[in-house]
Amino acid sequence: MLKKLGEHEITEKGAVIRMGDAKFPAPFTGGLEYASPARGTWNIVHTGMLIPEAHEIFVCAASCLRGVVLTAAEMNALDRFSTVEVKENNLLDGNLEELLIDGVSDIINKLEKRPPAVLVYTSCVHHFTGCDWGVMFGALKERFPDIDIIDCYMNPTLRKSGLTPDQTMRRQMYALLKPRTINKNAVAIIGNDLPTRENSDLYITLKNYGLKIHEITSCRTYAGYQEMAESSLYITYYPAAKAGGDALAKRLGGKHIYLPYSWDYDEITEALNILKYECAKTLDEGIEKNIDKIEECEKSFEKTLALIGETPIAIDYTFCPRPTSVAKQLLMHGFNVKRIYLDSFTGEEKKDYEYLKENYPDLELYATVDVKSRFMASSSREKLGATNISNSDNEKSASDKWLAIGQKAAYFLDTDYFVNIVEGGGMFGFEAITDTLELMRDAYENPKEMRKLVQIKGMGCGSCCIG
């Protein structure tokens, strides 16, 4: 039983499924959806703010504005953010185009400092009323020839129709780049919210080839952002960035390669070989020898297992793009992975899914948006007898201790022992394994203020977004 509400018992049925019984790619029946308080992943406001000096203007109804304006306020970026509110009369009068043009113009004219770029976000209502983007953005570009104006989209109703808003955002944020002479010694890592770790195999490989590495997270000025357009190679490793990488290479003339995030040794090796091949080809040099880091990974697995032992582990989909790959490797190395929190599998997870289904059929999948997910966290709290949740003094018995990898898993299990990383945390390659294992050892020994940390929106955005 998950909870007793009045006379009725709420069970977990429907919100949890054995891996052996799970269907691909949708293990759960869809329906009404719950939103947990774990909010560390980035949204389109955070991502847009990565373009240095750009100003964001959202044009939508009050209920939609509410979330984005407070996102901007929480990241202390209201000075780079404005809104135009769509009201009922605009829908009735059919003057949404006029409202957008006049509203955006009014805001730009009021700004103390002229921004080099303006991101104008339209919403579902513009789509459903058949607004003419050519008219709206054509007029704005005519009025403000000195400003780069780009169309961005907050249209969650269309999230299952073609590219998702997240994918579209990761495409549009590079659409402002203007063609320039390609420099064969320059590459760009595209589409990440968080900077690629400098100790990652990806970064080290590029450095070893002597390449100049562009990444939006390190751009400090709009002019610096524009320099990304000199790249001969565009690299993506975050799945939602793939479409943006394709569009960019097609428009600017470089080459795009997508290297999937994985914990599988063969896949990592293959991805790094592709990277080396492309670097060598670009520079007309030989292919750098593979550095075998598998032994290093194995040692790290051993060290971590010795510390963590049989402690139950749960992983969630916000930790990285491929939680099933992480689960597979941990299980293969003897870790007690009990749960994965996810609502669907991605296409890239097919092989991991098949392996886990066959070899670990009792692994449990927990939904995060199911109506019953609402009661999972409070049920965990009650089982643990915690009255003051996430208080550092709140000691839980060893038998109740879970190690969570990701914020949602930590929230649902009410554990302060968790790896606080979202969206892969800029990790890629063998280092993604060794760095995560190190974070797991740290998380096992050092509890964090889970309640406080997981509710912060856009983890790490404060240090990435430059005004």
Partner 1 sequence: MKQTSGFISTYSADAFGVCSALYELGGMIVMHDASGCNSTYTTHDEPRWYDMDSMVYISALTEIEAIMGDDSKLIEDVVRAAEELHPKFIAIVGTTIPAMTGFDADAASRVIEERTGIPTFGFATTGMKSYVHGASLAFETLANIIVNQNRKDNVAESTMPKINILGLTPLDFSVNGSDKSIKEYYRSKGYEIISTWAMGSTLDEIKKSADADLNIVVSETGMGVALKLKEKFGTPYKIGISLAGEEIDVTDEYQESINEHNLIDFFEGKINNVSDKENKAYNEDNPEILIMGERVNSLSLAKYLSNKTGKKCYGYATTDSDEDEIIDTIKSLDNLQVIIADPLFKPILKLIDKSKAQKIKFISLPHEAFSGRLYRNEIPNLVENTNMLLELL
Cβ-based nearer residue to partner 1, 86 or 331? 86
- Asked whether 79 and 105 are in contact (CB, 8 A), the reply is no
> Minimum CB separation from partner 1 for residue 248, in Å?
26
Based on the shown chain and the rule CB under 8 A, indicate whether residue 288 belongs to the binding site for partner 1.
Answer: no
Q: How many CA atoms lie within 13 A of 253 on its CB side?
A: 9
Cβ-based nearer residue to partner 1, 15 or 19? 15
Based on the shown chain and the rule CB under 8 A, indicate whether residue 26 belongs to the binding site for partner 1.
Answer: no
Based on the shown chain and the rule CB under 8 A, indicate whether residue 34 belongs to the binding site for partner 1.
Answer: yes
What is the residue whose two structure tokens read 């005519």?
A: 142
Based on the shown chain and the rule CB under 8 A, indicate whether residue 139 belongs to the binding site for partner 1.
Answer: no
Based on the shown chain and the rule CB under 8 A, indicate whether residue 394 belongs to the binding site for partner 1.
Answer: no
Provide DSSP, 70-92.
HHHHHTT-GGGEEEEE--HHHHH
- H helices present in 123-200, as ranges: 124-128, 133-143, 165-172
Going by C-beta distance under 8 Å and a sequence separation of 6 or more, which residues neighbour residue 3?
Answer: 9, 10, 375, 378, 379
Q: What angle do CA 246, 252, 256 make, to 5 degrees?
A: 35
Based on the shown chain and the rule CB under 8 A, indicate whether residue 386 belongs to the binding site for partner 1.
Answer: no
Q: 25: cis peptide before it, omega within 30°?
A: yes
**CA distances (Å), 321 to each of 16, 95, 115, 377, 462, in order?**
21, 41, 34, 23, 22
Task: Tell me which of 143, 147, 151, 156 binds partner 1, using CB under 8 A.
Answer: 156
Query: In this structure, what token pair is assigned to residue 431?
Result: 């280092």
Based on the shown chain and the rule CB under 8 A, indicate whether residue 128 belongs to the binding site for partner 1.
Answer: yes
- Strand partners of residue 159: none
Based on the shown chain and the rule CB under 8 A, indicate whether residue 350 belongs to the binding site for partner 1.
Answer: no
Among 8-16, 174-182, 297-305, 402-410, which window interacts with partner 1 (CB under 8 A)?
A: 8-16
> Minimum CB separation from partner 1 for residue 252, in Å?
31
> Minimum CB separation from partner 1 for residue 71, in Å?
9
**CA distances (Å), 225 to each of 48, 50, 185, 229, 418, in order?**
13, 9, 17, 8, 35
Task: Tell me which of 20, 21, 23, 35 binds partner 1, using CB under 8 A.
Answer: 35
- Asked whether 368 and 36 are in contact (CB, 8 A), the reply is yes
Based on the shown chain and the rule CB under 8 A, indicate whether residue 387 belongs to the binding site for partner 1.
Answer: no
- H helices present in 165-264, as ranges: 165-172, 201-208, 222-226, 242-252
Cβ-based nearer residue to partner 1, 104 or 259? 104
> Minimum CB separation from partner 1 for residue 90, in Å?
8
Among 7-15, 272-280, 283-291, 354-362, which window interacts with partner 1 (CB under 8 A)?
A: 7-15
Among 24-32, 199-207, 349-357, 418-426, which window interacts with partner 1 (CB under 8 A)?
A: 24-32
Q: How far apart are CA 128 and CA 456, in angstroms?
A: 33
Based on the shown chain and the rule CB under 8 A, indicate whether residue 130 belongs to the binding site for partner 1.
Answer: no
Based on the shown chain and the rule CB under 8 A, indicate whether residue 389 belongs to the binding site for partner 1.
Answer: yes
Name the nearest CA neighbour of 320 among 263, 373, 398.
263
Based on the shown chain and the rule CB under 8 A, indicate whether residue 376 belongs to the binding site for partner 1.
Answer: no
Residues touching partner 1, count (CB under 8 A): 67
Interface of this chain with partner 1, residues 92 to 121, rule: CB under 8 A: 99, 102-103, 106-107, 110-112
Sheet containing 183-189, strands listed edge to edge, beginning at the edge strand earlier in sequence: 212-215, 183-189, 231-236, 255-258
> Minimum CB separation from partner 1 for residue 34, in Å?
6
In the complex, the residues that contact partner 1 under the rule CB under 8 A are 3, 5-8, 10, 14, 30-35, 37, 39, 60-67, 69-70, 73-74, 78-79, 82-88, 90-91, 99, 102-103, 106-107, 110-112, 123-125, 128-129, 154, 156-161, 371-372, 374-375, 378, 389, 451, 455, 457
